[in-house]
């Protein structure tokens, strides 16, 4: 006796051919389509994120590599840091001004193709001098707790230097091994393009780069007229 193989209908007793309006949905196909849709959205978001990151890197934050030992013990050779390029931007009235103690990045005045990183010591109108291993600004010695005494053994004295308008006097924290304003002079304001913000490599030392300076009782510098001429202190009259 022969038995006919019974075909199992997909919807009980109804075959799809019985009604042309019946729609058949395969769960695997739907899952595949959903995955492809989500992948396209993820790819789109990734492209936008990369574009935004590129804009940030170009106009706001720039990664730079520290080369040399002039900023020891604060920054080490080979470390990588982020620099805030927008913080001193003049077109923003709320932008902070360069302050004494800021660690800034600037184009080297004698060769603008090179970038240097130093600490701001003298502001426009200040008079800076060195004596017995100390830095004196406007007649007051700076308290520089960020220095390593073993890297500041030279007690050479230098004649006072007046910081002109729109210029800064900068020095490395490794005073015995730093090429800075003591050697090649002042840094024009227009050459300053950023402030050291964050150390991101090596990961074990990742941290914010703080101001790390608390100067107190530093007398104000000599004021100057818009034409660049200085104005004598009334107390000297």
Question: Which residues participate in catalysis according to the annotation?
Answer: 70, 118
CA 110-114-118 angle, 5° bins? 85
Cα dist from 147 to 61, 154, 211, 217, whole Å: 27, 13, 13, 19
Q: How many CA atoms lie within 13 A of 213 on its CB side?
A: 17
| Maximum Cα–Cα distance across the chain | 132
CA 107-112-115 angle, 5° bins? 40
Closest C-alpha among 118, 112, 109 to residue 70: 118
174 vs 70: CA distance, rounded Å: 5
186 vs 31: CA distance, rounded Å: 66
List CB contacts of 114: < 8 A, sequence separation 6 or more. 107, 108
List CB contacts of 205: < 8 A, sequence separation 6 or more. 79, 199
Q: Considering just the CA atoms, what is the radius of gyration of the chain in Å?
A: 32
Specify the 3-state DSSP secondary structure of 141.
strand
């Amino acid at each position: 006796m022969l038995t006919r193989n019974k075909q199992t209908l997909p919807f009980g007793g109804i075959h799809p051919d019985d009604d042309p309006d019946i729609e058949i949905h395969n769960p695997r196909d739907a899952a595949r389509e959903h995955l492809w849709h989500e992948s396209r959205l993820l790819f789109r978001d990734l492209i936008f994120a990369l574009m935004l990151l590129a804009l940030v890197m170009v106009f706001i934050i720039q990664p730079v590599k520290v080369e040399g030992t002039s900023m020891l013990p604060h920054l080490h050779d080979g470390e990588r840091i982020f620099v805030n390029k927008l913080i001193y931007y003049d077109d923003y009235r709320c932008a902070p001004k360069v302050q004494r103690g800021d660690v800034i990045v600037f184009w080297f005045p004698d060769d603008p193709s090179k970038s240097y990183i130093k600490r701001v010591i003298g502001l426009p109108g200040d008079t800076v001098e060195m004596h017995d291993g100390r830095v004196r600004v406007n007649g007051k010695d700076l308290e520089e707790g960020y220095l390593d005494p073993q890297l500041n053994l030279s007690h050479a004295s230098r004649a006072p230097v007046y910081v002109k308008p729109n210029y800064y006097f900068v020095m490395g924290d490794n005073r015995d091994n730093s090429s800075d304003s003591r050697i090649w002079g002042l840094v024009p304001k227009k050459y300053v393009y950023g402030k050291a913000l964050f150390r991101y490599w090596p990961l074990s030392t990742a941290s914010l780069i703080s101001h790390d300076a608390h100067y107190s009782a530093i007398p104000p510098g000599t004021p100057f007229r818009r034409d660049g001429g200085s104005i004598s202190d009334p107390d000297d009259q």
